Each structure stands twice: as C-alpha cells, then as structure tokens.
C-alpha cells in the first residue's frame, strides 16, 4: 500500500510541530537573563494570568469538594465507612483532581488569553516592529508569560485544593453531621506529604509549563489575521486539555 506525499505530510506534521515547539522552548530558556526587567515582567504577568484566575479557581474548587464529598458519602455508606470520606476526598484532590482540574481551568481562562494577546500582537505587526528595533520578541513577550504560568499554576492548585477541602468540610460536617474530629484525623493521618502532596505539586509544575508553552507557541506563530488568532486560541485549549490528561497518566504511572 503506497502512501502519497500529501498523506505523509499529514502523518509527519504533528511530529514536525512537536520538534518546532521544542526548539521554541529552547529559544525561550536560552534567552533567560537575571535582570530586573524580566523579573518585573514576570510578576506583572503572574498577576494578570494568575491572580485574575483566582475567582474561578476558588468557586470551582469549593463546589468540586462538595460534590466529591456527596458522592463519596453515598458510596461509603453502603459499607458503613462514611467516616473515611475525608481520606477519599483528600487523596483524590491532592493526587489527581486538584492538579488536573486546575490545569484545565487555567488553559481555558489564562491560556486562551495569552494566545489571543500574542496573536493580536502578531496581527498588528508589533512583533515585527520589535525585531526591527533589535528587540528579541521571544525574550520580551513569550518568556515572561511562560515563566508566569509555570509559577502560577502550582499556587492556583494549592488554592483549588484548599477550597475543595473547605467545600468537603461544609457538606460533610455542616450538612451530613459527620464528627469533625474523625474527619480531620483521617485526613491528617491518611495524606502523606511526599507521595500525595508533593506528587500533586510536581504535576502542577509540569502542567503549568505545558499549558504556558502551548499558549505562547500558538500565539507567537498564529497567522496575522482575525481567523488565525481565533484558531490559535482554539488549538491552545484543545491541545492543552489533551496533553494535560496524557501527561497526567504518564506521571501517575511513575509516581504510584
């Protein structure tokens, strides 16, 4: 069975784009300079894409905790183990749901914003103007947003987990009437710092770098048209969501 050249291009296009994205990452990392300007730009972008995502992260985390505790209690009551709800909720949040759901929310809220902003700069020839003025647009535009995403997602994951635990406390203790001492003792004794907490932290760091890299890459190489900017934002959400779930499986396989 012969494969035509156009079919070969379609098969090799994802591999070529992965390599191109890897080269773009190397360009960003090689342009890191320990300067005050880069630090201030990174902190500014951390506020714009991190702090402004706090509201949706806290609201979603609170209700995820309530729903998770509701489902856990309903399942554990069949075995007379409803007092284990805090252990089940805690392990689910710190190991899986916290980093993954935060990364997906971050991709939908901040990733699209970064891709659209950089794509608009490309469409309005701001990037070309920087190049004419001998300013590296990768260092000035892409790098601060990448570092900000890398820094923001672990902090947002911690806030998501905190509000999810709060939601579980409100439902389990306030609504279902579980004993507070048993709830907190099971959570404290069953959650391990290295295996559960730090495993989630490592996942959130990887997911933050992954989503930020995809956002700045698609935005930087977006076609300089309105349609191109829209396509870049759409591809950012789709690719970020798919790769977050794939990397979550890979990392979980090694962390278990």
Closest CA to 102 of 161, 173, 157: 157
Least confident of 18-32, 76-90, 210-224: 76-90
Quickly state the pLDDT bin for 182 (edges 50, 70, 90). Answer: confident
Contacts made by residues 239-247, CB under 8 angstroms, sequence distance 24+: 239/214, 240/103, 240/104, 240/107, 240/111, 240/210, 240/211, 240/214, 240/215, 241/104, 241/107, 243/210, 243/214, 244/100, 244/103, 244/104, 244/107, 244/207, 244/210, 244/211, 245/100, 247/206, 247/207, 247/210
Quickly state the pLDDT bin for 3 (edges 50, 70, 90). Answer: very low
pLDDT above 70: residue 141? yes
């Amino acid at each position: 069975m012969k494969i035509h050249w156009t079919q070969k291009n379609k098969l090799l296009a994802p591999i070529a784009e992965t390599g191109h994205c890897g080269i773009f990452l190397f360009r960003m990392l090689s342009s890191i300079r320990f300067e005050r300007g880069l630090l201030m730009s990174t902190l500014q972008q951390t506020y714009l894409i991190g702090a402004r995502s706090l509201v949706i992260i806290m609201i979603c985390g609170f209700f995820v905790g309530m729903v998770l505790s509701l489902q856990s209690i309903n399942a554990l009551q069949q075995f007379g183990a409803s007092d284990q709800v805090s252990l089940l909720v805690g392990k689910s949040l710190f190991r899986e749901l916290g980093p993954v759901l935060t990364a997906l929310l971050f991709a939908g809220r901040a990733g699209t914003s970064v891709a659209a902003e950089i794509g608009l700069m490309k469409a309005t020839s701001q990037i070309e103007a920087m190049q004419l003025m001998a300013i590296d647009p990768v260092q000035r535009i892409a790098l601060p947003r990448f570092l900000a995403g890398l820094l923001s997602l672990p902090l947002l994951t911690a806030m998501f987990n905190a509000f999810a635990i709060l939601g579980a406390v409100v439902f389990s203790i306030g609504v279902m009437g579980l004993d507070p001492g048993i709830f907190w003792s099971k959570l404290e004794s069953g959650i391990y710092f290295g295996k559960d907490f730090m495993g989630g932290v490592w996942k959130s760091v990887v997911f933050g770098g992954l989503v930020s890299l995809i956002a700045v890459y698609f935005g930087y190489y977006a076609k300089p048209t309105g349609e191109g900017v829209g396509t870049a934002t759409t591809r950012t959400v789709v690719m970020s969501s798919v790769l977050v779930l794939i990397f979550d499986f890979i990392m979980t396989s090694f962390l278990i």
